[in-house]
């Protein structure tokens, strides 16, 4: 069966959301970096270049993390324009993260100030034994 099913003629929902970076081969580049990293670590272990291996390892980790951040801005996807209203996922993630970081929505939840129509002093409430 289908993983994603919607009630419309476009019932192959999962296939529409899968985007393969065939032109820039993202997964092949990640595999090549991992193979290069493992070969450098083996080479430096054999010849005992620990100082160089640490710096190369940190540089490759930086490249992998940096590659995950800017993979949406690659040149091959500049020409892949969609005019059917699909939002930019990275832009929405940054907007939601900054919205959370600036405490615009979280402050209403934590401090519970919206629709709080109670009295100003709620500490001195006492329920008497016979309050008629």
- Domain count within the chain: 2
What are the pLDDT tens digits along the chain (132 aa)?
A: 444 545 555 555 555 555 554 455 556 667 777 888 788 778 777 777 777 777 878 888 887 777 766 665 655 555 555 554 445 667 677 777 776 666 665 666 666 555 555 665 555 555 556 655
Whether 124 is in a domain gets the answer no
Whether 129 is in a domain gets the answer no
Q: Are residues 80 and 91 in the same domain?
A: no
Q: Is 14 exposed, middle or buried (0-12, 13-18, 19+ CB in 10 A)?
A: exposed
C-alpha–C-alpha distance, residues 61 and 10, integer Å: 40
3's tokens: 């993983």
Q: Are residues 58 and 102 in the same domain?
A: no
Q: Are residues 38 and 2 in the same domain?
A: yes
Whether 127 is in a domain gets the answer no
Question: Angle at CA 37, nearest 5°, toward 32 and 40?
Answer: 125
């Amino acid at each position: 069966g289908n993983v994603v099913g919607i009630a419309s003629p476009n019932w192959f929902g999962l296939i529409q959301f899968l985007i393969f970076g065939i032109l820039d081969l993202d997964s092949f580049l990640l595999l090549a970096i991992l193979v290069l990293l493992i070969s450098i670590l083996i080479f430096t272990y054999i010849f005992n270049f620990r100082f160089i291996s640490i710096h190369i390892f940190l540089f490759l980790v930086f490249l992998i993390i940096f590659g995950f951040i800017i993979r949406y801005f690659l040149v091959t996807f500049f020409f892949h324009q969609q005019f059917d209203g699909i939002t930019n996922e990275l832009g929405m993630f940054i907007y939601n993260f900054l919205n959370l970081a600036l405490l615009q929505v979280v402050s209403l939840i934590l401090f519970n100030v919206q629709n709080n129509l109670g009295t100003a002093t709620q500490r001195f409430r006492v329920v008497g034994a016979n309050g008629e």
